[in-house]
Amino acid sequence: MASPRLETFCCPNRDPATSAMLSFTPLGFNAVCLTSAAVSLVGSLMQLLPRVHKARGGRGGRGGPPLPPSTHIVRMLALCDTMGCLGIIVRSSVWVSSPSFVAGMSTVNATYVWPSVFCASTAIWIQLFYSANFLWAFCFAADAYLVAKRAAGSRNDVGSTMTLYHIIAWGLACLLCVEGVVTLYYPSIFMCEQSIEHAIPHYICTYIPMFMGFFVNPILFSRTVTTVSSLLKGRHGIYTENERRLECQLRTHFFKIMLVFFICWIPNIINEALLFVQELSLGLSEKANRDIKNTVFITWYMMGILNPLQGFLNSLAYQGWKGCSV
């Protein structure tokens, strides 16, 4: 799973809300994360394997035509999902098999730092690759729009090269991840999360790429469909059944992509919003606090299932069953 709570787990002086999440059936939760990540890993790898087999068969190699940026972007998405799932598998495996090792994070002991170091390292690894995944999804939406504009005769010179996309995805992901981690763990991993204000920059850096996927990508996809529709109408001056079918297929393809994104990540937004309500202590009734706590635990398990499962669902949304054939 990808949540700013991952990094705060590693702090011995973590806040009460984070401690409650950490102590809520950790064995069962990590077993769920491990299972979901293993299933998703299969789907992510299936998106990467066809490239190897095609290269062996002489297609897509040096002698063939260059692949469009969208194909490379889908592979980068699969790579990010794969690396994120591997991080979740390693992290969950240790938490399931070595509870005593994980318990070391609750002890402020400068001579026994390995549990906290392992926790922070795996959390940063997971957060980095899922942040990059969000940004690659943005690049896919932007590239689709730019391709449609160029096909419509636009003179827009915005470069849609893979070099630019790599800079946007990896560069911004690394920048935000480093900025968020430094503000959270400064001056020491044993001194982090002293107050909610101290963690706000970390949460902002974590959620910026995700919010781009929620709010920017749908706009780009909508504008792409509109541009393609105008292009299809302008070529022949009529709008036949073939044009309608092509537009419907494009709209359905983008809808599947956004549906997967919303299903996999909306529990994170709900969970974090409810945790902030708890931390702010707004004077709610006992029943309201109990309902919020139950909802937090439900969405927490949903995150453990749906966050890692994005890789498998993306393999269906971006390429369908044909994309899984090797």
Q: What is the DSSP string of 245-298?
A: HHHHHHHHHHHHHHHHHHHHHHHHHHHHHHHHHHHHT----HHHHHHHHHHHHH
The backbone region for 3, taken as left when phi is positive above 0, alpha when psi lies in -120 to 50, beta otherwise, is beta
Can you tell me the distance from the alpha carbon of 86 to that of 41, in angstroms, rounded to the nearest whole number? 8
Q: Cα–Cα distances in Å, from 168 out to 92, 213, 236, 243? A: 30, 14, 38, 34
| Domain span holding position 22 | 5-324
Show the tokens assigned to 270: 């709900």
pLDDT of residue 217: 97
Choice between 131 and 71, residue whose per-residue pLDDT is larger: 131
Tally the domains of the chain.
1
pLDDT of residue 252: 94
pLDDT of residue 53: 42
Report the chain's terminal Cα–Cα distance, integer Å: 28
| Radius of gyration of the chain, Cα coordinates, nearest whole angstrom | 22
Domain CATH for 292: 1.20.1070.10
Q: How confident is the model at residue 268 (pLDDT cuts 50, 70, 90)?
A: very high
Kindly state the percentage of the chain with pLDDT values over 90.
42
pLDDT of residue 56: 43
Closest CA to 19 of 210, 296, 286, 306: 296
Q: How confident is the model at residue 190 (pLDDT cuts 50, 70, 90)?
A: low
pLDDT of residue 69: 85
Mean pLDDT of the chain: 82
Q: How confident is the model at residue 240 (pLDDT cuts 50, 70, 90)?
A: confident
Q: How confident is the model at residue 50 (pLDDT cuts 50, 70, 90)?
A: low
Show the tokens assigned to 140: 């896919």
